Amino acid sequence: MNEQFLIAVIASGSALLGAAIGQLGQVVQHWLSTRHERRVVLRQKYEQMATLVGELTVHIVASADPEAAPPALDPQSLDSRLATLRSLVLLYFPELGAPIEALAKDTVAFHSALRNSTYADLQGTSANFGNSRRVANEAIRTFASKYT
C-alpha cells in the first residue's frame, strides 16, 4: 500500500509541477511583453517631446524673421505646445524638468519680446532663448539612450 501511495503522490506532484511551470512561462511572457510595450510608449513620447522642442525652435526663429517661410507661431498655439511639452516632461521624463522649464520660460519671453520690445531687449531674450535651447537639446541627447 505504501508503494501505491508513493506512486500516486509522485504522479500528482509531477502533474502539479508541470501545471506550475506552464503558468510560470505565461507569466514571464506577459511580463516581457508588457516591458516591451512600455519601452515602445516611452520611446514614442520621448520622440514627441524632442519634436516639440524642435518645432518651438523653428517657429520662434521664424517669428524673428517676418519674411521666413513658416508662419509665426501664434500665442495660443505656443501655449498649447508648451503645455504638451510640460505634460510630457512631468509624466514621463522628470529628469528633464529643469532644462525644459527654462526653455519654456525663455521661449515665452522671447516670443513676447518679438512682438513688443525694442532691439536691445531682443538681444537679451534671444541670447537666453539660445542658451536654454542648447541646454535642453543637450539634456535630451544625454537621456536619449535611456528611452530609445
Residue percentage of the chain with pLDDT more than 70: 89
Helix/strand/coil (H, E, C) string of 54-70?
A: HHHHHHHHHHHCCCCCC
Question: What is the reported pLDDT for 45?
Answer: 95
Structural domain spans, the chain: 42-147
Please report the pLDDT score of residue 105 as a whole number.
94
Of all residues in the chain, what percent carry a pLDDT higher than 90?
42
> Looking at the predicted structure, is the pLDDT value of residue 71 above 90?
no
Instruction: Measure the CA–CA gap between 100 and 81, rounded to whole angstroms.
Output: 12
Q: Is the pLDDT of residue 67 over 70?
A: no
- Residue 49, exposed/middle/buried by CB under 10 A (0-12, 13-18, 19+)? buried
Judge contact between 96 and 89, C-beta under 8 A: yes
Residue 63, pLDDT > 80, answer no
Report the alpha-carbon angle 32-143-148, nearest 5: 40
Residue range 89-122, pLDDT digits in tens: 999 999 999 999 999 999 988 888 887 767 767 7
